[in-house]
A and B are shown apart, each in its own frame.
Chain A
Amino acid sequence: MSGARAVAVTVNGRRHERQVEPRLLLSDFLRQDLGLTGTHVGCEHGVCGACTVLYDGEPVRSCLLLAVQADGHAVTTVEGLVPEPAGGGSPDPDRLHPLQEAFWECHALQCGFCTPGFLMTLVPFLEEHPEPSEDEVRHALSGNLCRCTGYQHIVDAVLLAARKARSPLP
Protein backbone atom coordinates (compact mmCIF):
# COMPACT_ATOMS: atom_id res chain seq x y z
CA MET A 1 0.00 0.00 0.00
CA SER A 2 1.19 3.53 -0.59
CA GLY A 3 0.05 4.68 2.87
CA ALA A 4 2.47 5.45 5.67
CA ARG A 5 4.32 2.62 7.36
CA ALA A 6 6.00 2.36 10.70
CA VAL A 7 9.77 2.01 10.58
CA ALA A 8 12.37 1.71 13.32
CA VAL A 9 15.85 2.64 12.15
CA THR A 10 18.95 2.82 14.30
CA VAL A 11 20.92 5.87 13.22
CA ASN A 12 24.29 6.58 14.81
CA GLY A 13 23.43 4.17 17.59
CA ARG A 14 20.08 5.73 18.41
CA ARG A 15 16.75 4.11 17.55
CA HIS A 16 14.23 6.27 15.68
CA GLU A 17 10.63 5.30 15.08
CA ARG A 18 8.70 7.14 12.39
CA GLN A 19 5.84 6.76 9.95
CA VAL A 20 7.06 6.99 6.37
CA GLU A 21 5.59 6.85 2.90
CA PRO A 22 7.17 3.98 0.90
CA ARG A 23 8.52 6.40 -1.69
CA LEU A 24 10.53 8.40 0.86
CA LEU A 25 14.23 7.99 0.07
CA LEU A 26 16.57 7.14 2.93
CA SER A 27 18.53 10.35 2.19
CA ASP A 28 15.39 12.48 2.65
CA PHE A 29 14.40 10.51 5.76
CA LEU A 30 17.77 11.27 7.36
CA ARG A 31 17.67 14.95 6.46
CA GLN A 32 14.01 15.84 6.78
CA ASP A 33 12.54 13.42 9.28
CA LEU A 34 15.57 13.10 11.56
CA GLY A 35 17.15 16.51 10.95
CA LEU A 36 20.54 14.93 10.21
CA THR A 37 21.51 17.32 7.45
CA GLY A 38 25.14 16.21 7.32
CA THR A 39 24.15 13.72 4.62
CA HIS A 40 24.02 15.78 1.46
CA VAL A 41 21.95 15.16 -1.64
CA GLY A 42 23.52 16.07 -4.95
CA CYS A 43 22.36 14.20 -8.03
CA GLU A 44 19.76 11.95 -6.35
CA HIS A 45 20.31 9.20 -8.89
CA GLY A 46 23.38 7.44 -7.61
CA VAL A 47 26.18 9.19 -9.47
CA CYS A 48 27.71 11.85 -7.22
CA GLY A 49 28.20 9.93 -3.96
CA ALA A 50 27.40 12.95 -1.74
CA CYS A 51 24.68 11.01 0.12
CA THR A 52 26.90 8.04 1.02
CA VAL A 53 26.19 6.60 4.48
CA LEU A 54 27.02 3.31 6.16
CA TYR A 55 24.20 0.77 6.05
CA ASP A 56 24.87 -2.09 8.44
CA GLY A 57 28.50 -0.96 8.30
CA GLU A 58 28.89 -0.87 4.50
CA PRO A 59 28.89 2.25 2.33
CA VAL A 60 25.73 2.80 0.26
CA ARG A 61 24.15 5.66 -1.61
CA SER A 62 21.24 6.71 0.59
CA CYS A 63 19.39 8.22 -2.40
CA LEU A 64 19.08 4.70 -3.86
CA LEU A 65 17.43 3.17 -0.80
CA LEU A 66 13.93 3.68 0.48
CA ALA A 67 13.52 4.61 4.12
CA VAL A 68 11.04 1.77 4.48
CA GLN A 69 13.80 -0.67 3.50
CA ALA A 70 15.93 0.54 6.40
CA ASP A 71 13.40 -0.75 8.95
CA GLY A 72 15.38 -2.83 11.43
CA HIS A 73 18.75 -1.78 9.97
CA ALA A 74 21.58 0.38 11.30
CA VAL A 75 22.72 3.54 9.55
CA THR A 76 25.79 5.65 10.30
CA THR A 77 25.91 9.19 8.95
CA VAL A 78 28.75 11.69 9.03
CA GLU A 79 27.33 12.95 12.35
CA GLY A 80 28.10 9.51 13.78
CA LEU A 81 31.79 9.46 12.87
CA VAL A 82 32.68 10.89 16.26
CA PRO A 83 30.79 8.92 18.88
CA GLU A 84 28.66 10.63 21.47
CA PRO A 85 30.24 10.95 24.91
CA ALA A 86 29.72 7.88 27.09
CA GLY A 87 27.50 9.78 29.50
CA GLY A 88 25.16 10.88 26.68
CA GLY A 89 24.69 14.32 25.19
CA SER A 90 25.89 15.73 21.88
CA PRO A 91 29.34 14.99 20.51
CA ASP A 92 31.91 17.71 21.13
CA PRO A 93 31.86 19.81 17.92
CA ASP A 94 35.63 20.32 18.20
CA ARG A 95 36.34 16.60 18.08
CA LEU A 96 36.98 15.25 14.63
CA HIS A 97 37.48 11.77 13.24
CA PRO A 98 41.15 11.22 12.24
CA LEU A 99 40.14 11.26 8.56
CA GLN A 100 38.32 14.55 9.08
CA GLU A 101 41.46 15.93 10.72
CA ALA A 102 43.52 14.80 7.74
CA PHE A 103 41.02 16.47 5.37
CA TRP A 104 41.46 19.67 7.37
CA GLU A 105 45.23 19.43 7.36
CA CYS A 106 45.52 18.69 3.63
CA HIS A 107 42.89 21.20 2.49
CA ALA A 108 40.84 18.34 1.08
CA LEU A 109 37.67 20.39 0.98
CA GLN A 110 36.66 23.78 -0.26
CA CYS A 111 32.88 24.23 -0.26
CA GLY A 112 32.48 20.98 1.66
CA PHE A 113 29.33 19.82 -0.09
CA CYS A 114 30.82 16.51 -1.21
CA THR A 115 32.87 15.96 1.96
CA PRO A 116 30.41 13.86 4.02
CA GLY A 117 30.07 11.44 1.11
CA PHE A 118 33.82 11.17 0.70
CA LEU A 119 34.29 10.57 4.42
CA MET A 120 31.61 7.88 4.59
CA THR A 121 33.15 6.15 1.56
CA LEU A 122 36.73 6.37 2.76
CA VAL A 123 36.34 5.50 6.45
CA PRO A 124 35.29 1.90 5.67
CA PHE A 125 37.85 1.79 2.85
CA LEU A 126 40.66 2.60 5.30
CA GLU A 127 39.41 -0.04 7.70
CA GLU A 128 39.62 -2.61 4.93
CA HIS A 129 42.87 -1.22 3.44
CA PRO A 130 44.98 0.21 6.28
CA GLU A 131 47.99 0.63 3.97
CA PRO A 132 46.51 1.75 0.67
CA SER A 133 48.56 2.71 -2.37
CA GLU A 134 47.77 6.02 -4.06
CA ASP A 135 46.25 4.05 -6.93
CA GLU A 136 43.93 2.17 -4.59
CA VAL A 137 42.83 5.44 -3.00
CA ARG A 138 42.01 6.90 -6.41
CA HIS A 139 39.92 3.85 -7.26
CA ALA A 140 38.20 3.98 -3.88
CA LEU A 141 37.03 7.56 -4.35
CA SER A 142 36.04 7.18 -8.01
CA GLY A 143 32.38 6.97 -7.01
CA ASN A 144 32.38 10.40 -5.40
CA LEU A 145 32.40 13.68 -7.27
CA CYS A 146 34.09 16.87 -6.04
CA ARG A 147 33.53 19.96 -8.16
CA CYS A 148 35.83 22.48 -6.52
CA THR A 149 38.97 21.22 -4.79
CA GLY A 150 40.09 18.60 -7.25
CA TYR A 151 41.02 15.19 -6.01
CA GLN A 152 44.74 15.49 -5.28
CA HIS A 153 44.27 16.95 -1.79
CA ILE A 154 41.65 14.33 -0.98
CA VAL A 155 44.08 11.59 -2.01
CA ASP A 156 46.76 13.25 0.13
CA ALA A 157 44.39 13.35 3.12
CA VAL A 158 43.55 9.66 2.87
CA LEU A 159 47.22 8.71 2.64
CA LEU A 160 48.02 10.99 5.59
CA ALA A 161 45.23 9.47 7.71
CA ALA A 162 46.51 6.00 6.87
CA ARG A 163 50.09 6.94 7.80
CA LYS A 164 48.98 8.48 11.08
CA ALA A 165 46.88 5.46 11.98
CA ARG A 166 49.93 3.24 11.48
CA SER A 167 52.30 5.38 13.56
CA PRO A 168 50.33 7.61 15.91
CA LEU A 169 52.32 10.56 17.23
CA PRO A 170 52.90 10.57 20.99
Chain B
Amino acid sequence: MKPAPFAYEAPDSLGAALDLLARHGGDAKVLAGGQSLIPVMNFRLAQPALLVDLNRLPGLDFVRRTPAGGLAIGAMTRQRRLEREPLIREAAPLLAEAIPYIAHPQIRTRGTIGGSLAHADPAAELPAVAVALRARFRLQREGGERWVDAASFFAGLFTTELAAEELIVEVELPPPPPRAGWAFLEVARRHGDYAQVGVAALVALEADGRCREARLVYLSVGDAPVVAERAAAQLAGEVPTEEAIAAAADTAAREEMDPTGDLHASARFKRHLARVLTVRALRLATARAA
Protein backbone atom coordinates (compact mmCIF):
# COMPACT_ATOMS: atom_id res chain seq x y z
CA MET B 1 0.00 0.00 0.00
CA LYS B 2 1.49 3.27 -1.10
CA PRO B 3 -0.59 6.05 0.48
CA ALA B 4 -0.54 6.75 4.22
CA PRO B 5 -3.72 5.75 6.06
CA PHE B 6 -6.70 8.06 5.75
CA ALA B 7 -10.37 8.09 6.60
CA TYR B 8 -12.51 7.69 3.51
CA GLU B 9 -15.97 8.95 2.74
CA ALA B 10 -17.80 8.69 -0.57
CA PRO B 11 -20.94 10.77 -0.01
CA ASP B 12 -23.89 10.07 -2.28
CA SER B 13 -25.27 13.61 -2.26
CA LEU B 14 -23.79 17.07 -2.71
CA GLY B 15 -25.29 18.09 0.63
CA ALA B 16 -23.46 15.29 2.41
CA ALA B 17 -20.18 16.21 0.69
CA LEU B 18 -20.52 19.88 1.68
CA ASP B 19 -21.38 18.85 5.22
CA LEU B 20 -18.18 16.78 5.43
CA LEU B 21 -16.13 19.70 4.12
CA ALA B 22 -17.81 22.10 6.55
CA ARG B 23 -16.84 19.83 9.42
CA HIS B 24 -13.36 18.78 8.30
CA GLY B 25 -12.28 21.58 5.93
CA GLY B 26 -8.50 21.79 5.95
CA ASP B 27 -7.97 18.21 7.15
CA ALA B 28 -9.89 16.83 4.20
CA LYS B 29 -8.84 16.42 0.59
CA VAL B 30 -11.38 16.22 -2.18
CA LEU B 31 -10.93 13.32 -4.59
CA ALA B 32 -12.28 14.04 -8.07
CA GLY B 33 -10.45 12.21 -10.90
CA GLY B 34 -7.45 11.60 -8.67
CA GLN B 35 -4.93 11.88 -11.47
CA SER B 36 -2.89 14.50 -9.60
CA LEU B 37 -3.94 13.80 -6.00
CA ILE B 38 -3.32 10.02 -5.94
CA PRO B 39 0.26 10.36 -7.27
CA VAL B 40 1.18 12.80 -4.50
CA MET B 41 -0.53 10.52 -1.97
CA ASN B 42 1.43 7.57 -3.37
CA PHE B 43 4.59 9.61 -2.76
CA ARG B 44 3.17 10.52 0.67
CA LEU B 45 3.71 14.18 -0.18
CA ALA B 46 0.02 14.53 0.66
CA GLN B 47 -1.29 12.74 3.74
CA PRO B 48 -4.85 13.93 4.18
CA ALA B 49 -6.67 12.81 7.33
CA LEU B 50 -9.88 12.43 5.35
CA LEU B 51 -10.50 11.78 1.69
CA VAL B 52 -13.88 12.96 0.41
CA ASP B 53 -14.48 11.04 -2.80
CA LEU B 54 -16.88 12.83 -5.15
CA ASN B 55 -17.17 9.94 -7.58
CA ARG B 56 -20.47 8.69 -6.15
CA LEU B 57 -22.14 12.11 -6.36
CA PRO B 58 -24.99 12.24 -8.85
CA GLY B 59 -25.70 15.22 -11.05
CA LEU B 60 -22.26 16.76 -11.52
CA ASP B 61 -21.54 15.09 -14.87
CA PHE B 62 -23.23 17.13 -17.59
CA VAL B 63 -22.65 19.33 -20.62
CA ARG B 64 -25.56 21.50 -21.72
CA ARG B 65 -26.38 24.71 -23.52
CA THR B 66 -27.17 27.72 -21.40
CA PRO B 67 -30.09 29.98 -22.37
CA ALA B 68 -27.48 32.61 -23.35
CA GLY B 69 -25.99 30.23 -25.93
CA GLY B 70 -22.94 29.27 -23.89
CA LEU B 71 -22.24 26.03 -22.09
CA ALA B 72 -22.71 24.73 -18.58
CA ILE B 73 -20.40 21.88 -17.63
CA GLY B 74 -20.66 19.84 -14.44
CA ALA B 75 -17.50 19.80 -12.34
CA MET B 76 -17.23 16.00 -12.36
CA THR B 77 -17.45 15.73 -16.14
CA ARG B 78 -14.52 13.61 -17.30
CA GLN B 79 -12.04 15.07 -19.75
CA ARG B 80 -12.63 12.05 -21.99
CA ARG B 81 -16.30 12.92 -22.23
CA LEU B 82 -15.47 16.53 -23.06
CA GLU B 83 -13.15 15.25 -25.79
CA ARG B 84 -15.95 13.25 -27.40
CA GLU B 85 -18.82 15.66 -26.78
CA PRO B 86 -20.16 17.28 -29.99
CA LEU B 87 -21.57 20.22 -28.00
CA ILE B 88 -18.06 21.18 -26.88
CA ARG B 89 -16.74 21.14 -30.43
CA GLU B 90 -19.69 23.27 -31.50
CA ALA B 91 -19.88 25.82 -28.70
CA ALA B 92 -16.35 25.86 -27.27
CA PRO B 93 -13.95 24.75 -30.00
CA LEU B 94 -10.97 26.21 -28.12
CA LEU B 95 -11.68 23.83 -25.25
CA ALA B 96 -12.14 20.95 -27.68
CA GLU B 97 -8.78 21.72 -29.25
CA ALA B 98 -6.99 21.83 -25.88
CA ILE B 99 -8.30 18.60 -24.37
CA PRO B 100 -6.22 16.10 -26.38
CA TYR B 101 -3.11 17.85 -25.00
CA ILE B 102 -4.07 16.85 -21.45
CA ALA B 103 -1.81 13.92 -20.57
CA HIS B 104 -2.96 10.60 -22.08
CA PRO B 105 -6.27 8.86 -22.76
CA GLN B 106 -5.84 6.72 -19.61
CA ILE B 107 -5.61 9.93 -17.56
CA ARG B 108 -8.47 11.68 -19.37
CA THR B 109 -10.75 8.71 -18.67
CA ARG B 110 -10.64 9.73 -15.01
CA GLY B 111 -9.57 13.38 -14.95
CA THR B 112 -12.37 15.89 -14.43
CA ILE B 113 -12.75 19.53 -15.46
CA GLY B 114 -13.51 20.66 -11.90
CA GLY B 115 -10.59 18.74 -10.44
CA SER B 116 -8.15 20.20 -12.91
CA LEU B 117 -9.35 23.76 -12.26
CA ALA B 118 -9.29 23.35 -8.47
CA HIS B 119 -5.81 21.79 -8.59
CA ALA B 120 -4.52 24.86 -10.51
CA ASP B 121 -1.33 23.37 -11.88
CA PRO B 122 0.40 26.22 -13.76
CA ALA B 123 1.32 23.73 -16.52
CA ALA B 124 -2.28 22.52 -16.94
CA GLU B 125 -4.31 23.32 -20.03
CA LEU B 126 -7.78 23.82 -18.54
CA PRO B 127 -7.05 26.82 -16.28
CA ALA B 128 -5.56 28.79 -19.21
CA VAL B 129 -8.45 27.82 -21.48
CA ALA B 130 -10.99 28.80 -18.81
CA VAL B 131 -9.40 32.24 -18.48
CA ALA B 132 -9.28 32.68 -22.27
CA LEU B 133 -12.96 31.72 -22.59
CA ARG B 134 -13.98 34.09 -19.74
CA ALA B 135 -15.45 31.15 -17.86
CA ARG B 136 -16.98 31.51 -14.45
CA PHE B 137 -17.23 28.86 -11.76
CA ARG B 138 -20.05 28.11 -9.36
CA LEU B 139 -18.59 27.39 -5.93
CA GLN B 140 -20.82 25.84 -3.34
CA ARG B 141 -20.47 25.51 0.39
CA GLU B 142 -22.91 24.40 3.04
CA GLY B 143 -25.71 26.94 3.00
CA GLY B 144 -24.45 29.11 0.16
CA GLU B 145 -22.91 29.53 -3.24
CA ARG B 146 -21.03 32.14 -5.23
CA TRP B 147 -19.82 32.64 -8.78
CA VAL B 148 -16.18 33.48 -9.40
CA ASP B 149 -14.67 34.54 -12.73
CA ALA B 150 -11.81 32.40 -13.97
CA ALA B 151 -9.70 35.54 -14.27
CA SER B 152 -9.80 36.09 -10.50
CA PHE B 153 -9.96 32.43 -9.45
CA PHE B 154 -6.32 31.43 -9.98
CA ALA B 155 -4.25 32.98 -7.21
CA GLY B 156 -0.86 31.37 -7.77
CA LEU B 157 1.00 28.09 -7.71
CA PHE B 158 -1.62 25.38 -6.96
CA THR B 159 -3.58 28.12 -5.19
CA THR B 160 -7.09 29.37 -5.93
CA GLU B 161 -9.92 31.37 -4.44
CA LEU B 162 -11.58 28.11 -3.40
CA ALA B 163 -12.02 27.85 0.37
CA ALA B 164 -11.40 24.54 2.14
CA GLU B 165 -15.12 24.01 2.68
CA GLU B 166 -16.10 24.87 -0.90
CA LEU B 167 -16.48 22.77 -4.03
CA ILE B 168 -16.51 23.81 -7.68
CA VAL B 169 -19.79 22.38 -8.91
CA GLU B 170 -20.21 23.97 -12.33
CA VAL B 171 -18.24 25.71 -15.05
CA GLU B 172 -20.10 28.19 -17.23
CA LEU B 173 -18.75 29.34 -20.57
CA PRO B 174 -20.29 32.37 -22.24
CA PRO B 175 -21.01 32.11 -25.97
CA PRO B 176 -17.96 33.04 -28.05
CA PRO B 177 -18.00 36.56 -29.54
CA PRO B 178 -19.21 36.81 -33.15
CA ARG B 179 -16.67 36.23 -35.97
CA ALA B 180 -14.23 34.70 -33.49
CA GLY B 181 -11.43 32.28 -34.31
CA TRP B 182 -9.39 30.37 -31.78
CA ALA B 183 -6.23 28.30 -31.43
CA PHE B 184 -4.64 26.21 -28.73
CA LEU B 185 -0.99 25.25 -29.18
CA GLU B 186 1.67 23.88 -26.91
CA VAL B 187 5.15 22.44 -27.05
CA ALA B 188 6.08 19.43 -24.94
CA ARG B 189 9.05 17.09 -25.24
CA ARG B 190 6.73 14.14 -25.82
CA HIS B 191 3.02 14.08 -26.54
CA GLY B 192 1.20 14.11 -23.21
CA ASP B 193 4.08 15.53 -21.17
CA TYR B 194 3.60 18.77 -19.30
CA ALA B 195 3.88 21.68 -21.71
CA GLN B 196 7.07 23.71 -21.76
CA VAL B 197 4.89 26.54 -23.02
CA GLY B 198 1.30 26.58 -24.20
CA VAL B 199 -1.05 29.31 -25.43
CA ALA B 200 -4.80 29.71 -25.77
CA ALA B 201 -5.66 32.41 -28.30
CA LEU B 202 -8.86 33.98 -29.51
CA VAL B 203 -9.28 36.61 -32.23
CA ALA B 204 -12.63 38.28 -32.99
CA LEU B 205 -12.87 40.33 -36.17
CA GLU B 206 -15.01 43.26 -37.27
CA ALA B 207 -16.90 42.94 -40.54
CA ASP B 208 -14.13 44.92 -42.24
CA GLY B 209 -11.42 42.50 -41.11
CA ARG B 210 -9.99 44.57 -38.28
CA CYS B 211 -9.48 42.86 -34.96
CA ARG B 212 -12.21 43.78 -32.49
CA GLU B 213 -10.77 41.76 -29.63
CA ALA B 214 -7.85 39.41 -29.04
CA ARG B 215 -7.10 37.20 -26.05
CA LEU B 216 -3.83 35.48 -25.25
CA VAL B 217 -3.46 33.25 -22.19
CA TYR B 218 -0.36 31.15 -21.48
CA LEU B 219 0.42 28.08 -19.43
CA SER B 220 3.77 27.04 -17.98
CA VAL B 221 5.26 30.54 -18.01
CA GLY B 222 4.25 31.65 -14.51
CA ASP B 223 2.63 30.50 -11.27
CA ALA B 224 -0.86 30.71 -12.76
CA PRO B 225 -2.35 31.32 -16.21
CA VAL B 226 -0.59 34.37 -17.66
CA VAL B 227 -2.72 36.86 -19.60
CA ALA B 228 -0.95 39.02 -22.19
CA GLU B 229 -3.17 42.10 -21.96
CA ARG B 230 -0.94 44.60 -23.68
CA ALA B 231 -0.28 42.33 -26.64
CA ALA B 232 -4.01 41.76 -26.99
CA ALA B 233 -4.78 45.48 -26.71
CA GLN B 234 -2.15 46.22 -29.34
CA LEU B 235 -4.01 44.05 -31.86
CA ALA B 236 -7.44 45.55 -31.19
CA GLY B 237 -8.47 47.91 -33.96
CA GLU B 238 -5.71 46.65 -36.27
CA VAL B 239 -5.91 44.34 -39.24
CA PRO B 240 -4.06 41.27 -37.97
CA THR B 241 -1.37 41.27 -40.61
CA GLU B 242 1.85 39.29 -40.25
CA GLU B 243 3.55 42.47 -38.98
CA ALA B 244 0.85 43.22 -36.41
CA ILE B 245 0.90 39.61 -35.21
CA ALA B 246 4.70 39.63 -34.91
CA ALA B 247 4.61 42.87 -32.93
CA ALA B 248 1.98 41.50 -30.53
CA ALA B 249 3.98 38.29 -30.05
CA ASP B 250 7.07 40.36 -29.23
CA THR B 251 5.17 42.32 -26.60
CA ALA B 252 3.71 39.19 -25.03
CA ALA B 253 6.93 37.20 -24.91
CA ARG B 254 9.26 40.05 -23.92
CA GLU B 255 7.16 42.11 -21.55
CA GLU B 256 4.25 40.11 -20.23
CA MET B 257 5.74 36.93 -18.84
CA ASP B 258 8.55 35.96 -16.56
CA PRO B 259 9.06 32.24 -17.12
CA THR B 260 11.26 30.17 -14.84
CA GLY B 261 13.74 27.89 -16.53
CA ASP B 262 14.00 24.23 -15.67
CA LEU B 263 16.07 21.20 -16.64
CA HIS B 264 14.49 20.95 -20.07
CA ALA B 265 13.90 24.56 -21.03
CA SER B 266 15.74 27.72 -19.95
CA ALA B 267 13.74 30.87 -19.32
CA ARG B 268 15.14 32.30 -22.56
CA PHE B 269 14.07 29.25 -24.54
CA LYS B 270 10.57 29.39 -23.03
CA ARG B 271 10.28 33.02 -24.06
CA HIS B 272 11.35 32.03 -27.56
CA LEU B 273 8.77 29.24 -27.64
CA ALA B 274 6.09 31.61 -26.37
CA ARG B 275 6.85 34.07 -29.16
CA VAL B 276 6.78 31.41 -31.88
CA LEU B 277 3.59 29.82 -30.52
CA THR B 278 1.92 33.22 -30.25
CA VAL B 279 2.60 33.99 -33.90
CA ARG B 280 1.25 30.59 -34.97
CA ALA B 281 -1.78 30.80 -32.69
CA LEU B 282 -2.75 34.31 -33.78
CA ARG B 283 -2.33 33.38 -37.43
CA LEU B 284 -4.53 30.31 -37.01
CA ALA B 285 -7.14 32.10 -34.90
CA THR B 286 -7.34 34.94 -37.45
CA ALA B 287 -7.74 32.51 -40.34
CA ARG B 288 -10.52 30.71 -38.47
CA ALA B 289 -12.27 33.97 -37.63
CA ALA B 290 -12.32 35.17 -41.22
Contact = CB atoms under 8 A, between A and B. Distances in A.
Interface residues of A, number: 32
A33 B43 CA distance: 22
Interface of A is mostly: mixed
B43 A45 contact: yes
Given A64-B34, A64-B38, A143-B192, A25 B106 contact: no
A45 B103 contact: no
B59 to A, nearest CB: 18
Interface in B1-58: 1-8, 10, 34-35, 38-39, 42-43, 51, 53, 55
Interface in A34-88: 44-46, 49, 52, 55, 58-61, 63-66, 68-69
A90 B2 CA distance: 31
B141 interface: no
Interface stretch (A16-24, A94-102, A159-167): A16-24
Given A64-B38, A64-B110, A69-B55, A44 B105 contact: no
Contact of A142 (B1, B34, B192): B192
A126 interface: no
B106 A121 contact: yes
A140 interface: yes
A169 interface: no
Contacts of B162: none
Interface of B is mostly: loop
Contacts of A59: 105-106, 109
A123 B191 CA distance: 20
Contacts of A45: 38-39, 42-43
A45 B34 CA distance: 11
B268 interface: no
A104 interface: no
Interface string A1-37: 1100100000000000000011111001000000000
B109 A58 contact: yes
B104 A60 contact: no
B43 A22 contact: no
Contacts of A125: 105
A55 B2 CA distance: 21
Interface string A116-149: 0000010001000000000000111011000000
B1 A23 contact: yes
Given A1-B8, A21-B5, A121 B109 contact: no
B1 A65 contact: no
Contact of B2 (A1, A2, A44, A142): A44
A148 to B, nearest CB: 18
B80 interface: yes
A25 B1 CA distance: 7
A61 B108 CA distance: 10
Contacts of A143: 103-107, 192
A140 B108 CA distance: 12
A23 B6 contact: yes
Interface string B91-107: 00000000000011111
A65 B109 CA distance: 12
Contact of B109 (A21, A24, A60, A142): A60
Contacts of A25: 1-3, 38, 42
A92 B125 CA distance: 45
Nearest to B4: A23
Given A25-B1, A46-B35, A59-B105, A65 B110 contact: yes
A130 to B, nearest CB: 16
A31 to B, nearest CB: 12
B146 interface: no
B264 interface: no
A121 B5 contact: no
Nearest to B78: A58
Interface in A95-116: none
Instruction: Report, nearest first, the 3 A-B pairs whose CB atoms are least far apart.
Output: A143-B104, A22-B8, A45-B39
6 contacts: A22-B7, A23-B5, A28-B2, A52-B106, A63-B42, A143-B107
Interface of A: 1-2, 5, 21-25, 28, 44-46, 49, 52, 55, 58-61, 63-66, 68-69, 121, 125, 138-140, 142-143
